[in-house]
Amino acid sequence: MSHDERPRILLVDDDEAITGALAAFLGRSGFDVRVAADGRAGLIEVERDVPDLIVCDVLMPHVDGREFVRRVRSRQLWLPIVLLTQVGESWERSAALDEGADDYLNKPFDPHELISRIRAVLRRTAQGVGSLRSAQRLRARDLVLDRTTRRAWLGDTELTLTPKAFTLLEFFLLHPQEVHSRDHLLATLWGFDFASSSRAVDHRIAELRRQLGDGAAEQPLIDTVQGTGYLFTAKVTAA
Amino acid sequence: MTAPAPRPAPDRAGIALGVGAIAPAALCSLTAGALLLAGDQHALAVEIALPGAVFAAGLILSAVPAAALVARRRRRRRDARDAAAHATALAAAVASATQDERENHRRFLARLDHELKNPLTAIRATAVAAQSAPETPAAAWQTIDHQTQKLSGLVRDLRKLAELETRPLERERVDVEALVAEAIEAVAQQHPAARARIGFTVTRVPWPVPQLDADLDLLSLAVDNVLGNAVKYSSSGPIEVRLREEGGWVVLDVADSGRGVPASDLPTVFDELARAQNARDVGGSGIGLTLVATILRRHGGDVSIRSVEASGTVVTLRLPAHT
């Protein structure tokens, strides 16, 4: 890979102890890293040169992470953004995703986990799936999901889903044709690794399969990947 | 806890009034009876001027409401005294609860301090040693990484607890028997050696254990924790899991014949970060039973523990059958 092909990352965080160590680590992991000390400086950096991906803290002076994401999106820039959240509350996480972040990671996090999230998000963006993020309605075969009203239909029939099952289905539709480990799905459902076992994921998968009629289907929407996790099989488009 | 109400002091004035009210009537009745029996023929004729009679009648008519008025004022004064006493008792109860709360908080901070001290000491010692060494040995970085992971785990656990207190419950129909069977299967997969030791009995006659409206994930978490403890703290001997309906409650016992909890540690066993003296050799965060207690409380139920050191432990979860 030539030097020019190194993905360019903008790291936005007000804590120098974090940006110093993380920038060096990301640099050694094959990324071209620039650092901004808060959201305002981040916006200036984005204006100057749009990176391939932004990693951004939430709690910052001047312009915080959420506001930063809103302002980047309001400039019609759809580059992927990974938010570093402070509080593990799932509503904060879903609020972050609703405001246009592509993924999130709770502090304190394992730096290797950040690298794997960055690579996954870049891969999705390269496949053009990233644009699903801005869509209000998603469609996969005859399944339609409305992200604003949090309702879903299979053909003409509306599905009755628990809030967690809906969150899981939404996550699958935003990350289709990608294998997700039970642990990652668990963190998605709860905001962090909540339960002591990933049985909670299996319960929601069972609920989704019942509602989607996957048991009798020739081509089930949700596939089990033995020993790894689950995969949403169908192609997803904005509806 | 409420203290028994103090015995009211004897009402001396009331007694005197009672005696004063009864004595003349009784005395005069006795005298009149005696005079009648003695055949006394005397008659008493009283002559009174009309203004005097009207005045006397006025006095007598006023005396009745005046007496009632006095009685009412006395009653009011007594009620006010009672209310003041009640308010004082209430204030004392609130103060005692606040003090308990402060005491809990103080104990929690002490435990948190203890949990933070060790990893931080290790990190500082490693960092200082590495600074004076010609080059940092790889083992030093591993120590620092390991200790920060420990700290991260602590932060994550405390966040879980905080989240559990406030997160809205997502209730659905839950078949408790199936939930417990799944939990047993999961713990047996994690600890294959324990599988043969776990027995599960369910009372189905005369009626089955009713289904509950509960948060499935949270209840699973609570049952997983209690079962996990039973396996962790008993290396041999049977583990009995017993599910039944009892007086409108769904009751689950998890009993083991393990090392038990020392009597001195039993009162704090549900406190966050608390770990029994004899549990230090087994890995754990000290928040498991706090999570369990919080989950049960949020479902309107409760958890209790009975334990004898070196004999075993039984943890009982109770949930209201009709929520």
DSSP string, B245-270: EETTEEEEEEEE-SS---GGGGGGTT
pLDDT band at B111; cut points 50, 70, 90: confident
Side-chain half-sphere exposure of B267, counting CA atoms within 13 A: 3
Best of A110, A194, A196, A208 to mutate (most B CBs within 10 Å, chain B):
A196
pLDDT value of residue A94:
54
Q: Which amino acid is at B299?
A: H
User: Chain B partners of A162 at a C-beta cutoff of 8 Å?
Assistant: 170, 172
Q: In what order do the strands lie in the sheet containing A151-154?
A: A157-158, A151-154, A143-146, A137-140, A237-238
- Structure tokens belonging to residue B146: 């390991």
CB atoms closer than 10 angstroms to residue B30: 10
Long-range contacts of B244-247 (CB under 8 A, 24+ apart): B244/B202, B244/B203, B244/B209, B245/B203, B245/B207, B245/B208, B245/B209, B245/B210, B245/B321
Residue with tokens 């005395």: B27
Statement: residue B105 has pLDDT above 50: yes
B242 bridge partner residues:
B201, B253
Q: Which residue has the higher pLDDT, A185 or A6?
A: A6
Please give, rounded to a whole number of angstroms, the shortest distance from the CA of B217 to a CA of chain A. 6
User: Chain A partners of B152 at a C-beta cutoff of 8 Å?
Assistant: 108
pLDDT band at B8; cut points 50, 70, 90: low
Residue of A nearest to B151 (CA): A108
Q: Which of B155, B182, B228 sits opposite A108 (nearest CB)?
A: B155
Mean pLDDT value of segment B250-276: 89
CB B176 within 8 A of CB B209: yes
B220 vs A162: CB contact, 8 Å cut-off? Answer: no
Average pLDDT, chain B: 87
Statement: residue B28 has pLDDT above 90: no
Residue B77 phi, psi dihedral angles, 5° rounding: -60, -40
The single-letter DSSP state of residue B203 is: -
The single-letter DSSP state of residue B2 is: -
Residue B272 vs residues A45, B35, B70, B199: alpha-carbon distances, Å: 45, 86, 59, 30
User: Chain A partners of B228 at a C-beta cutoff of 8 Å?
Assistant: 196
pLDDT value of residue B203:
94
Q: Which of B148, B172, B220 sits opposite A195 (nearest CB)?
A: B220
Statement: residue A146 has pLDDT above 90: yes
pLDDT band at A194; cut points 50, 70, 90: low
Mean pLDDT value of segment B188-203: 93
Alpha-carbon gap, residue A156 to B54, rounded angstroms: 96
Alpha-carbon gap, residue B264 to B231, rounded angstroms: 22
CB A201 within 8 A of CB A182: yes
Alpha-carbon gap, residue B291 to B270, rounded angstroms: 8
Average pLDDT, chain A: 84
pLDDT value of residue A129:
62
ipTM of the complex: 0.75
Residue of B nearest to A195 (CA): B221
CA-angle at A91, arms to A88 and A96, nearest 5°: 85
pLDDT value of residue B2:
44
- pTM (2 decimals)? 0.72
B228 vs A196: CB contact, 8 Å cut-off? Answer: yes
Side-chain half-sphere exposure of B6, counting CA atoms within 13 A: 7
Maximum C-alpha span of chain A: 55
Best of B150, B159, B226 to mutate (most A CBs within 10 Å, chain A):
B159
Residue A3 phi, psi dihedral angles, 5° rounding: -60, -35
User: Chain A partners of B159 at a C-beta cutoff of 8 Å?
Assistant: 87-88, 192
B228 vs A88: CB contact, 8 Å cut-off? Answer: no
A192 vs B220: CB contact, 8 Å cut-off? Answer: no
Residue with tokens 């002591």: A196
B88-104 confidence digits (pLDDT tens): 999 998 998 888 888 88
